[in-house]
């Protein structure tokens, strides 16, 4: 039975992610990806012309989800409940499917991501999402808290190093820390507890 083009692309991405995480982006070649897939290099080239294209596909998937989240957030009231919902939805995307592996790859290969156009697009989307989190409070403190709340969620993949921790525990801890930051957005200093 022949595999669909979409299925093949997803297999390539999964194997590339595995190799990039095991060996590092720079040390992994397209030939190694093709060998692990048991396909020719030409077959791999049909789907991706370079390693950068593979990485960009990871980023594009994430950007699409972030764009959808920002669009949804813009239609919501600027309340703590909305901020929590935004962050909860963001966390759902970070803990779904292959995202934990993608996040580990991003952490281990930050210089690669910074050098690609997709890396700048990701940073732009993160700031868009942070703006949605602090909508209604344009203070510098709110801006920083919004970014740090997002960082609490996605950095939990490399900052929390407790052996044997489950994804659910990791997510819960990240959300607790992020919620402390969110609670201070939009409130006056004398109202914070």
CA gyration radius, the chain: 19
Q: Comparing C-alpha atoms, which of 28, 78, 84, 77 is closest to residue 51? A: 28
Claim: this prediction has a pTM higher than 0.85: no
Query: Any idea which fold 1-49 has?
Result: Arc Repressor Mutant, subunit A (1.10.10)
CATH classification code of 58-191:
1.10.357
pLDDT in tens, 100-113: 677 777 777 777 77
Counting every residue written for the chain, the total comes to 193
The domain spans of the chain are: 1-49, 58-191
pLDDT in tens, 12-52: 999 998 998 888 888 999 999 999 999 999 989 999 999 98
From the number of C-beta atoms within 10 Å of its C-beta (0-12, 13-18, 19+), residue 55 rates as: buried
């Amino acid at each position: 039975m022949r595999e669909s083009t979409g299925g093949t692309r997803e297999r390539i991405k999964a194997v590339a992610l595995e190799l990039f995480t095991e060996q590092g982006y720079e040390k992994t070649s397209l030939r190694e990806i093709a060998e692990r897939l048991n396909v020719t290099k030409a077959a791999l080239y049909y789907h991706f012309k370079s390693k950068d294209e593979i990485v960009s596909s990871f980023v594009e998937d994430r950007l699409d989800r972030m764009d959808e989240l920002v669009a949804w957030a813009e239609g919501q009231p600027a309340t703590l409940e909305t901020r929590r919902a935004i962050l909860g939805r963001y966390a759902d995307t970070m803990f779904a499917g292959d995202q934990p592996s993608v996040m580990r790859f991003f952490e281990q290969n930050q210089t690669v991501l910074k050098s690609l156009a997709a890396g700048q697009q990701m940073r732009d989307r993160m700031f868009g999402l942070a703006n949605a989190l602090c909508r209604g409070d344009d203070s510098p403190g709110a801006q920083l808290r919004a970014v740090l709340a997002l960082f609490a969620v996605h950095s939990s993949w490399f900052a929390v190093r407790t052996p044997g921790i489950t994804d659910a525990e990791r997510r819960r801890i990240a959300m607790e820390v992020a919620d402390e930051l969110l609670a201070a957005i939009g409130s006056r200093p004398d109202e914070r507890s």
